Amino acid sequence: MTQFSGGEIWMPGSDKPWGALGKGTAIGYRLIVTNPDDRRYGAEAKAADMKPLLSLLQQFEGIGYEFVRLERTYGG
């Protein structure tokens, strides 16, 4: 199961963070997951805060989807 700890995303079975979330002021976050059985099927979710996306990620993992990326989104 993917874990979140202070700005780092840890992949299952990994001893290193997947990636730092970068610096700056984020206006939101974007989560991407995929179905490992058929990579054509995936989902993307956006939110102003990270917490609801992490909850959603756990729900996706519960139905067999895999974490791909969680990133900050910036205004432009």
Q: What is the pLDDT of residues 2-28, one digit of tens each?
A: 665 555 555 555 554 444 444 456 688
pTM for the model stands at 0.65
What is the domain count for the chain?
Answer: 1
pLDDT at residue number 75: 74
Nearby residues of 28 by Cβ (< 8 Å), 6 or more positions away: 46, 47, 48, 49, 72, 73
User: What is the extent of the structural domain holding 22?
Assistant: 3-73
Contact assessment for residue 67 and residue 56, using Cβ atoms and an 8 Å cutoff: no
26-36 tens-digit pLDDT = 688 999 999 99
Q: What is the mean pLDDT of residues 48-64?
A: 93
